[in-house]
A and B are shown apart, each in its own frame.
Chain A
Amino acid sequence: MNPGRVSQFLLFAFVGAAEAEFVAGDLAEEFASLANRRGPRVARRWYFRQVVRSILPLLTVRLRSGEFTRALLAAAGAVIPLAILDRLWSFVYSQIPLKESLHRDPALLAMNVGLLVVSAWLAGLRVRTRPEAVSSAVLAAALTALVLCAGPAPAPVLYVALAIPAAPVGCLTACCWRRSG
């Protein structure tokens, strides 16, 4: 008997992998006994309520474990080289008078995106678990968007559109590569 896909998805999406394993086992045990006594419908409702009520306390456990700090450090490690290059460009840009027609060389922008993928890949090698890799990928995308949009010089749209997914792709492929190896 299945306690419901939505409940299980919520449990594993929000709760740290290690904790979710024990919590899911405990819930499965109680779910089976409740389903025998009061029927699968009541048991499923009970399971879902337990999962929803458990998300917040278990997120605090995940925070205490340092997982978010590690994910944030990995994301920062991925984006910092790009941020340095972008600040350098902004400085050069600010030194040039009459800059209306000045555009960044596409080859330079492509190099920036390539560097971002490489640094994100290297940062992704340091994350330990899949949920940590997902957290660092999301954070890396957000940090990249922040770095590109907060600069004084407007960044080309295509460059932004390529750079924002580049960081999470680098992080996640590194994590998958490490897990498969």
Chain B
Amino acid sequence: MPKGDTLGEFEYLVLLAIVRLRDNAYGMRVRQEIADRTGRDTSIGAVYATLDRLESKRLIAGTISAPTPERGGRAKRSFEITRAGLAALNRTRRDFASMLEGLVFPPQGAPR
């Protein structure tokens, strides 16, 4: 499998957030979705860097909307998942499920 087809952990979270947010997936919402669900306080820069990487891998596609007053007159960039992105997401989910199969938590022999 080419290296670009695999997802890093944060890339996986960002893709899942985009799928959850549907039409409302943009930097700030993705950051909030990850923070609400995982408790991670990520920076907006880290989210944008990951979005840029996912876009260059063609796993998501971005569209620019018109500036609005509540954004200080600045434009917004929304994202949606592509077919390749969905395939990558499913593959990663399968990989995780396969690795977790049969494991009992906490694992036997783990330090207490």
Contacts and interface: CB of A to CB of B under 8 A. Distances in A.
Interface of A: 15, 19, 21-30, 32, 50, 53-58, 60-61, 64
A26 B46 contact: no
Contacts of B48: 19, 22-23, 54, 57-58, 61
B9 interface: no
A25 B67 contact: yes
Given A22-B74, A22-B77, A29-B71, A57 B26 contact: no
Given A30-B28, A58-B48, A60-B49, A50 B43 contact: yes
A57 B75 CA distance: 21
Contact of A57 (B32, B43, B71, B76): B43
> Which secondary structure characterizes the binding site on chain B?
helix
Nearest to A56: B45
B102 interface: no
Contacts of A30: 28, 32
B95 interface: no
Nearest to B64: A22
Contact of B45 (A21, A55, A64): A55
Given A22-B27, A27-B28, A54 B71 contact: no
Interface residues of B, number: 22
Interface string B68-83: 0011101111000000
Nearest to B26: A26
From B26, B28, B70, residue with most partner A Cβ within 10 Å: B28
A84 B25 CA distance: 53
B44 A25 contact: no
B6 interface: no
A50 B44 contact: yes
A53 B40 CA distance: 14
Contacts of A15: 45
A25 B46 contact: no
The 3 closest A-B pairs by CB, nearest first: A54-B45, A25-B74, A26-B28
Given A19-B52, A25-B75, 13 more contacts: A19-B48, A22-B26, A22-B27, A22-B74, A24-B72, A25-B71, A25-B72, A25-B76, A27-B28, A29-B28, A32-B70, A57-B43, A61-B52
